[in-house]
Chain A
Amino acid sequence: MPSVAVLLSVGRHPASGRARRAPLDARALEMAFSLPNAAVHAIHAGNPDEPALRDYLGMGMERLTVLSIPRDGDPVPALTAHLEQLSPDMVLCGSRAEGGEDSGMVPYLIAHALGYAMVADIAAVSASAATATLTQALPRGRRRLIETGLPVVATVNTAAPAPRQSSFGRARRGVIDILAADAPPDTLADQCEIRPWRPRPKRMRLAAAASAADRLKAMTETRSGEGAVMIQPSPEEAARAIYAYLVEKRIIGDGS
């Protein structure tokens, strides 16, 4: 019976900014459920009163352990200490969270501290007594099979199966076990300004192409090395530059 620890963070909806289960961590939990006979330990380091944690319980776990640390604390030492005690065969988490520094470093730091193997971006898993077979998702749909000894830390990719629905009833009944933990202040985060991510606006071009395929290409391809970089321009400067660009590309007339 493999023992699997799943690290769960609190996500952030890209449009509303509201807290929710983090989609990739939810996939990691789903993957843990898919392992036959696995003893699944769900762990979060943060605020135990965060309502979004119940979204994970709604996926069908009876308990969730929260290492209670302050909002600006670094979760890695607390998680490492807890995992050391638990000594699971496998640690799973999403390859990227939706908050904090979003550096994706937590699993690497933990694997390093515990001396576990680390495999990134897996899409599927199976485990035997001493080894695990992981399917790693590579760009453009390629896959690589990896055999590894246990214990291992693995991060879960978007190619993994979608997480099951979180149900209100199970979320309500689930129990959150709170453990006090120490967390040194995260000095790097203190110096950063955190802003919601915004998709980068695409430049408009008037496509004078002959065929639909050319037009599509003109719309989707990104060319670099064009134009000038303006750093913190004044609104007037920025507007003038955009106007000049639109005229140059003949998206609008120049008024003459």
Chain B
Amino acid sequence: MIAAALSGLMLTTLAAGALLAVLNARRWLAGQAASVDLVGGLLALPQRYLGDVHHVVARKPYNALFHALVAGGFLASLPLILLAALPALRGWLLWTALALCLAVMLAGALMVGWRRGVARPSELSGGGFARLPFALLAYAVCLLIVAVDQLAGEALPQTISLTLVAIGALAAADLILGVGRGPLKHALNGALHLIAHPRPARFHHGTRDTAIRALDLTGQKLGTERPVDFAWNRLLGFDACVQCGRCETVCPAYAAELPLNPKKIIQDIAAALDPAATDRAYAGHHHPGRSPGEAHGGRLLPLVGAGAMIHPDTLWSCTTCRACVEECPMMIEHVDAVIDLRRFETLERGATPGKAALALEELRAADNPSGRPASQRIEWAADLALPLIADRGECDILLWLGDAAFDMRGQRSLRALIELLRRAGVDFAVLGADELDCGDLARRLGDEATFQDFARRNIALLGRYRFNRILTNDPHVLHVLRKEYPSFGGRYTVVHHTALLLELIEAGRLAPRGSGRSVTFHDPCYLGRYNGEIEAPRRLLDALGLERIEMERSGLRSSCCGGGGGAPLTDVAGKKRIPDIRMDHARATGAERVAVGCPNCTIMLEGVTGKRPAVADIAELMLEAVA
């Protein structure tokens, strides 16, 4: 009787859950078609879940533990309860197993209760999620008593048992159908998202799949305007967000109180899948400076606009640093979403804000963002008599000067690098005035047309010469040439100057003398998170005999200087400045100097006023050490 009631109720709840899942799936299935390898994804699911997801979740071991206990216990309890529908199986074995599962789940539920009730991190969303610990506890406790009672030969009066079953079933219903559309939705969407992930290559270890996908410029509408313009598997990904807020805690724009919270932007898109959507039900931190109820949308309505789900200021606050992507346990790709929305704003609406629109116009007309004569890329180096590859046709190392060549501070770093190359006897040459912008800025600002134009023209230019490797001191150039040109047919070995300088030391071609001065290294986002190069700069600094002190956030989890994604040009106002925050991290180490490996970081960090450690490019530090 009790057992039948229990399994009957559970079966009904699960059936309702299945129906809800189908209804929910219709929301994201409204997206565009996508070519997805479902079978491969399904086969890879265990590895993606136990390997990649676990790797991220385990950065917070407490969370990993309660997650395993609660989800494991709950999921294992469901089939056992359903089996209890068959009288033949109702025996001590079944009830013992069920009791064990529920005990495990109870332990986890208490941990969840502690986290949400007592030691609640502020980045967690409230709302429906606040009921979660109660539902988990009610389910685990009530059904645990029922299972033990069954083992004890139904010692409790039937009314009490039935009441417990009823409460347990109600809690199960809340878990499966309620609570922010339920942990069921989380489990299902999460699993489906892992199977149909838009970037399956990110699960192949050793590859950091960070290149922006090329846009077909002959398409009807360029970029993403409405929720349904995203591919269905991307919508599924956004809908899998559990609002854990990990992305929020690492976002530099959020920290500087620019109007961007990556968690909210994902929720804005997910919420817009509902008819007459608003953000009223959202119960987490907002985009700083914006208040709930301002956003309205729907799956056929534009996502970006003053009263739409995403305010333009929010969209243009992002530095494309990828900290959020690195941190997200659900493997959501925030930056891809930002770029797709920017593409529509720039290519279709012509609404790139601030000085960014002007920079794009100059890029198109003069091949550099400040509209300078091409000859100025190399005029500053007249005294260095740099060898031009056009004169020689070939060289070992082609030095890419980049946009920093137009800037006096950037020229200082380049000079240091060139001096080191000369001392080591490296056979190098430059493109000089023929060099064009690499297109990074245009692409991050959504101007895919200008980016592709640069890609094609640079590839044609490079195709005229023979060289072994391209050397750059700008990680943005490195990333674009190494990872984003291949889809246009340009395949190059691109090396960052920190890696090459380390090579030169290891080969004994340069011999630095240590000074023992202290230094902290700021990882550039496009070198670290985009390209995984966090070792070479550190080994280089060690080889220079510097005392290296790490900032609290470093390596793949480093924090942005604020210079990426065209953010200095779109210049959305916040309460603080992103580079000031990063400089605070550097100050906290007490190091004498901040070592950088990117001309943009140099400019951003040197722009910080007040007492602060000096900023020096690694090449400058090395030149000091070999002098």
Contact = CB atoms under 8 A, between A and B. Distances in A.
- Tell whether A pairs with B: yes
A167 B372 contact: no
Contact of A165 (B357, B365, B449): B357
At the interface, is chain A mostly helix, strand, loop or mixed? loop
B312 to A, nearest CB: 13
B361 interface: yes
A88 interface: no
A165 B350 contact: yes
A18 B365 contact: yes
Contacts of B347: 167-169
Nearest to A164: B350
A58 B365 contact: no
Interface in A1-17: 13-16
B451 to A, nearest CB: 11
B210 interface: no
B366 interface: yes
Interface string A133-173: 00000000000000000000000000000001111111000
Contact of A13 (B217, B350, B351, B365): B365
Contacts of B357: 165
A28 interface: no
Interface string B339-377: 000000011111110000100110011110001111000
Contacts of B373: 15-16
B222 interface: yes
Nearest to B362: A13
Contacts, number: 51
Contacts of B371: 13-16
A20 B364 CA distance: 9
B352 A15 contact: no
B447 interface: yes
A70 interface: no
Given A15-B371, A15-B373, A165-B361, A170 B350 contact: yes
Contacts of A170: 348, 350
A197 to B, nearest CB: 13
A17 to B, nearest CB: 9
Nearest to B449: A168
Contacts of B348: 167, 169-170
B109 to A, nearest CB: 52
Given A13-B371, A16-B374, A166 B350 contact: yes
A16 B365 CA distance: 7
A166 B362 CA distance: 12
Interface string B110-133: 000000000000000000000000
Given A16-B374, A20-B364, A168 B352 contact: no
Interface string B435-464: 000000000000101100000000000000
A16 B349 CA distance: 27
Contacts of B361: 20, 165-166
B366 A167 contact: no
B372 A15 contact: yes
Nearest to A23: B361
Contacts of B365: 13, 16, 18, 20
A14 B447 CA distance: 23
A18 B366 contact: yes
B343 to A, nearest CB: 10
Contacts of A106: none
Contacts of A123: none
A167 B350 contact: yes
A166 B350 CA distance: 6
Interface string B478-494: 00000000000000000
Contact of B350 (A15, A16, A59): A59
Nearest to B370: A15
A60 B366 CA distance: 23
A219 to B, nearest CB: 19
Nearest to A162: B358
Interface string A232-243: 000000000000
Given A15-B371, A16-B373, A165 B222 contact: no
A166 B363 CA distance: 13
A165 B352 CA distance: 8
Given A15-B372, A15-B373, A16-B374, A167 B349 contact: yes
A165 B366 contact: no
A191 B372 CA distance: 31
B377 to A, nearest CB: 11
A15 B222 contact: no
Contacts of B352: 165
Contacts of B346: 165, 167-168
Contacts of B374: 15-16
B351 A168 contact: no
Contacts of A166: 350, 361
Interface string A157-195: 000000011111110000000000000000000000000
8 contacts: A13-B365, A15-B373, A16-B371, A18-B365, A165-B346, A166-B350, A168-B346, A169-B348
Interface of A: 13-16, 18, 20, 58-60, 164-170
State the 4 A-B residue pairs at the shortest beta-carbon distance, nearest first. A167-B350, A165-B350, A169-B348, A165-B357
